[in-house]
Amino acid sequence: MKPSTLNHKPDRSERLVQYCKRFSNVRLMVVGDVMLDHYIWGGVERISPEAPVPVVAVSNESIHLGGAANVAHNVVSLGGKVDLCGVIGRDDFGGRILRELKRLKIGTEGLLVDPDRPTTKKTRVIAHNQQVVRFDREQRQAVSEKIRRSLLEFIGRRIRRVDGLVVSDYSKGVITGELMKDLIGLAHHHDVPILVDPKVRHISFYKGVQVITPNTAEAFGAAGLENRSEDDLMRAGQMLLEQLGCRAVLITRGEQGMSLFESNGKTTQIPTVAREVYDVTGAGDTVIATLALGLCAGAAIQDAALLANYAAGIVVGIVGTATVHQAQLTRALRGRISL
């Protein structure tokens, strides 16, 4: 079936806005790798005499919720309610995450402390709106069986209260094959949709979920395709649909927008609404949070994807990890702000 192009028509705006207003009635559960995004901001005026590297004169620093915590932050910023399930270390960074989550009224009972691993932190040095270097503090091995069982027990107790389950997989140890098998079983038993922001090396874990949201590189990698043509992207989307038995695959494509593949054979291209793309950091978190809220608020998959596309158009225009507020999204849908 030939792909169609989904453009945002004026008569669709108010329908999408009405879905946004229903976000406050939605409660999601986010399960995945919780992390802290640390930014060091500055400028470069010279090269180091010690080595051929830039010298960054630091002007300020900022810290933001990252990974699954950023997904949860996007949910509450958009007006929804959310419980977060994951792992932090017994350290200052973990404490900072916990305090920020509580300030935002994000449910933290499913956030477990593992004294044997550090809280994941990514530090990015940004000079003149360009990332100079990133260094990571993390352990990537799978969490212990005790932690896995504790996460699953919490999810099992709470899943009746939620409208949707979002898996944010950054391959930092929380999402394992065993956990995903149990999550999918619970979700199916309670008729709760499960959406996944995937990692290529874990693609076999997601068989039976409703929706996955890979970026272009992840889609090609998961489908095992080396070529990067438009035809190959179409093949990748269809292959992932068949391999995982999904209801839909939404491939995020940066400046080229999104490609939506549905199990009914329909393929839709969604052009980007962003005028400028400064930083895609965290855009995938925004996409899956908005998509899940839209679907759980009653939107059809195409409308939910349009909502996610507009939300992504807002965050990619901001350097650093960012979230979208419901009022911003509503103004963008009505054409009152320029993205």
Catalogue the active-site residues: 285
Please give the helix or strand (H or E) that residue 260 lies within, else none. Answer: strand 258-262
Q: Which residue has the tokens 């091995």?
A: 141
Q: Is 27 helix (H, G, I), strand (E, B) or coil?
A: strand
Q: What SS3 state is found at 134?
A: strand
Show the tokens assigned to 62. Answer: 């900022």
Q: Report whether 260 contacts 248 (CB < 8 A).
A: yes
Of the candidates 153, 154, 165, the one whose C-alpha atom is nearest the C-alpha of residue 191 is 165
| Alpha carbon distance 229, 289 (integer Å) | 28
Is the Cβ–Cβ distance between 195 and 212 less than 8 Å? yes
Closest CA to 94 of 52, 34, 30, 171: 34
- Please, how many CA atoms are within 13 Å of residue 80, restricted to the half-sphere of its CB? 31
The SS3 assignment for 25 reads helix
**DSSP per residue, 210-232:** SEE--BHHHHHHHHT----SHHH
Task: Tell me which amino acid residue 322 is.
Answer: A
